[in-house]
Structure 1
Amino acid sequence: MTKANTALTGTDVLTPTRAATPTAATPPVLSALGLLTLLLGAALPMIDFFIVNVALPTIDHDLHAGPALLEMVAAGYGVAYAVLLVLGGRLGDMVGRRRLFLLGTALFALTSLACGLAPDAWTLVGARVAQGAASALMLPQVLATIHATTSGAKRGRALGLYGATGGIAAVAGQVLGGWLVAADLLGTGWRSIFLVNVPVAAAAILLALRSVPETRSANPSRIDAKGTALLGATLLALLVPLMEGHAVGWPLWCWLLLAATPFVGAAFWLVERRGERTGGDPLIPPTLLANHGMRSGLRVALFFFTGFGGFMFVIAVALQQGLRLGPVAAGTALVPMASAYFAASLLAPRLVTRYGRRVVTTGLSLQGIGVLVVVATVLQGGWPHLGAFDFLPGMLVLGFGQGLAMTTLFRIVLSEVPAERAGVGSGVMVTTQQSSLALGVATLGTLFLSLAGSIGMRDALAVALLAQVAGVAASVGLSVRLPRTVR
């Protein structure tokens, strides 16, 4: 694996856990159509994590979901996605990446259909969890296939396109969601944000059958069933009470789950240590975390993505329920953020080779300034009579900072990981990313929703965003411990 593999500049990064050696004597070649198909598959999971946010008020109205279930609709997808990502990558190594891409895409279409037809809120939550699991089967095969079928400059261009696709999808999901809800296609309302996935996924399947070559690892890693189960239990013990506690009055079971979290987490860590000592393939190898770049990067990623996930959730709810903006206007308010992110993602690769970790620190600082500008707009701009374009200055600064930081963080950190462990290092980073996105919805989302009823939507939004700024400040401080340069 070359350095090009570790120059990953997207919001979702996962490469194979072992050297990706195709079984054929002559390595297969990825065509332009094949790359386009893989990028289409990569965009679907990230779009779907965020597309639901702008539809939450409409879902609440139609299904009488309530705040707790709304958070589970948003975060349940992310938890399943995070827990099963590395497992999905290892399964692709074993049975074939195109095969898993096709299976994951087909399951994504079916679970999207289940979401779109859900008769009640609990059914929607269950379908969203299943949709996250399908995404975890599909997504890892994208970068693994790119790695196995490209090299040199072609690989660099493919990774650059992948990074741009993932970053833009995160913000564009909410913009697209607003437009679809407002369009009310054939009277489907919010259901269209899920139903639209079905024909898109079907097209991806047909294209993949024609254009994506089959590859697999010659030495695939074994499945860490115990580690996967314990990681899932740890995340659920932490996130479920945080999401549900306020809505159900913090009953005893919430406190028991929170109290159990460190013990389940410790059991996970002991299983991983024992697995590594005995020559197994742990989900998260403890010795990998001894790597300075990985350890420092995970700390920054935890604060960064927790804040990002929380921001996208609370701003979507506040714009619609607080300012009474329609879904199109709420989505339009995020267009400057997406545009600035895209510009920064194009600029960041050139800056990082010269300035190294200072690009991350600068990006995080700009993000914090942008959030503060949004807070000032909320408090001083004439709430509740603000419009979508009143948020333009803050969104521009915020999006540009995120583009610099997000597209650079993975590249710097993974450049410190030994080449033979780059795949599992990518998996650990992405698992942290997806878990943190769900944690942001659970923490900042719960804070915002619990305060909105007592101090009002405006002040609740300001408090939640200031809490995010505190997290940004922590990530800025931690970023100075990142590796100085890209190796």
Structure 2
Amino acid sequence: MSTSVEIFPLSRFYFQSVHGYSPLVTGAAFLVPSLMIAAGTQIGERMATRTGMRLTLLTGIVAGAAGTALLATGMSAGGSYWNVLPGIVVMGLGQGLTWTGMWIAAASGVAAGEQGVASGMASTALQVGTALGLAVLVAVAGQDVTGLAGEALLGEITGGLRAAIYVAAAGILLSAFLALTFQRREAAEPRPARVDA
């Protein structure tokens, strides 16, 4: 799964169907995660320079998983935007950090002439992972709500969305194990000594 990209459609459904937000208000609700993602990429750039890609990626993944779980915890039929805001903030920062580390990892060790291919493969993997992840989460969120109405209906919808977002948090955390497989730069083979003619 690609960090928390799959969460946005579920969050939009939660805001509009459970809380009755208009499209305009729902769009405004997504300003915070957009700003947090932008801030996360800036922090990630500095962090990657100082501590390396591996730690940046791991920090982003763990923060993204924690924020996603926090988002699910704050979801309720009778709650408000303020209940889910802490999760949105942490998730957005984690996503920005992760994206920075992901693109660095995709380009690491790739020859200059092959950078476009590496970027294209990473972008394709991101899009395919998002589509597959969203399909899984929609299946998890799907609830049989036949015959339900009012608070019971909203409660069932919220429960399904919450379960799907917890699954997303677990999927994000599992990707940390992939980040652990990246070799440290120091462990790479030493470059041959330069011989002057």
- TM-score, structure 1 normalization: 0.35
Q: Given the superposition, is the C-alpha separation of residues 369 and 472 from structure 1 closer, same or farther in structure 2, using an over 3 Å criterion?
A: same
Q: Which residue does the alignment assign to 1:394?
A: 87
- 2-side partners of 1:404 and 1:412: how far apart? 12
- 2-side partners of 1:465 and 1:422: how far apart? 34
Contact (CA 8 Å) 1:310, 1:443: kept in 2 or not?
no
Find out whether 1:466 has 2:166 as its counterpart. Answer: yes
Q: Which has the greater radius of gyration?
A: 1
Q: Which residue does the alignment assign to 1:323?
A: 19
Report how far residue 485 of structure 1 moved. 4.9
Report how far residue 345 of structure 1 moved. 1.2
- State which of 175, 179, 184 in structure 2 corresponds to 1:479: 179
Contact (CA 8 Å) 1:377, 1:390: kept in 2 or not?
yes
Instruction: Pick 1 or 2: higher relative contact order, CA cutoff 8 A, min separation 6.
Output: 2
Report the 3-state secondary structure (helix = DSSP H, G, I; strand = E; otherwise coil) of the residue aligned with 2:145.
helix
Q: Which residue does the alignment assign to 2:108?
A: 415
Q: Given the superposition, is the C-alpha separation of residues 484 and 331 from structure 1 closer, same or farther in structure 2, using an over 3 Å criterion?
A: farther
Contact (CA 8 Å) 1:309, 1:439: kept in 2 or not?
no
Q: Given the superposition, is the C-alpha separation of residues 388 and 331 from structure 1 closer, same or farther in structure 2, using an over 3 Å criterion?
A: farther
Q: Which aligned pairs between 1:4-403 and structure 2 lie closer than 5 A? A: 303=1, 305=2, 308-356=4-52, 357-378=54-75, 383-403=76-96
Contact (CA 8 Å) 2:4, 2:68: kept in 1 or not?
no
The runs of 4+ residues in structure 1 deviating greater than 6 Å are none
Report how far residue 476 of structure 1 moved. 1.1
Q: Given the superposition, is the C-alpha separation of residues 436 and 445 from structure 1 closer, same or farther in structure 2, using an over 3 Å criterion?
A: same
Find out whether 1:453 has 2:145 as its counterpart. Answer: yes
- 2-side partners of 1:461 and 1:484: how far apart? 38
Contact (CA 8 Å) 1:345, 1:404: kept in 2 or not?
yes
- 1-side partners of 2:181 and 2:104: how far apart? 15
Contact (CA 8 Å) 2:70, 2:86: kept in 1 or not?
yes
- 2-side partners of 1:317 and 1:472: how far apart? 21
Q: What is the one-letter code of the residue matched to 2:11?
A: I
- 2-side partners of 1:373 and 1:470: how far apart? 12
Q: What is the one-letter code of the residue matched to 2:39?
A: A
Deviations along 1:344-363, one digit per CA (max 9) or x if unpaired, are 21121121022111011001
Unaligned runs of 5+ in 2: 147-154, 189-197
- 2-side partners of 1:452 and 1:479: how far apart? 37
Report how far residue 329 of structure 1 moved. 2.7
Report how far residue 465 of structure 1 moved. 0.5
Deviations along 1:167-209, one digit per CA (max 9) or x if unpaired, are xxxxxxxxxxxxxxxxxxxxxxxxxxxxxxxxxxxxxxxxxxx
Report how far residue 332 of structure 1 moved. 2.7
Deviations along 1:321-370, one digit per CA (max 9) or x if unpaired, are 12222223322332221111111211211210221110110011001111
Q: Which residue does the alignment assign to 1:52?
A: none
Choose 366-375 or 416-425, whichever is displaced more.
Answer: 416-425
Q: What is the one-letter code of the residue matched to 1:398?
A: M
Considering only aligned residues, what root-mean-square deviation do their CA atoms show, in Å? Answer: 2.2
Report the 3-state secondary structure (helix = DSSP H, G, I; strand = E; otherwise coil) of the residue aligned with 1:308.
coil
Contact (CA 8 Å) 1:325, 1:387: kept in 2 or not?
no
Q: What is the one-letter code of the residue matched to 1:358?
A: L
Report how far residue 371 of structure 1 moved. 0.9
- TM-score, structure 2 normalization: 0.81
Find out whether 1:436 has 2:129 as its counterpart. Answer: yes
- 1-side partners of 2:177 and 2:80: how far apart? 34
Count of residue pairs brought into register by the alignment: 178
Contact (CA 8 Å) 1:329, 1:388: kept in 2 or not?
no
Unaligned runs of 5+ in 1: 1-302
Q: Which residue does the alignment assign to 1:249?
A: none
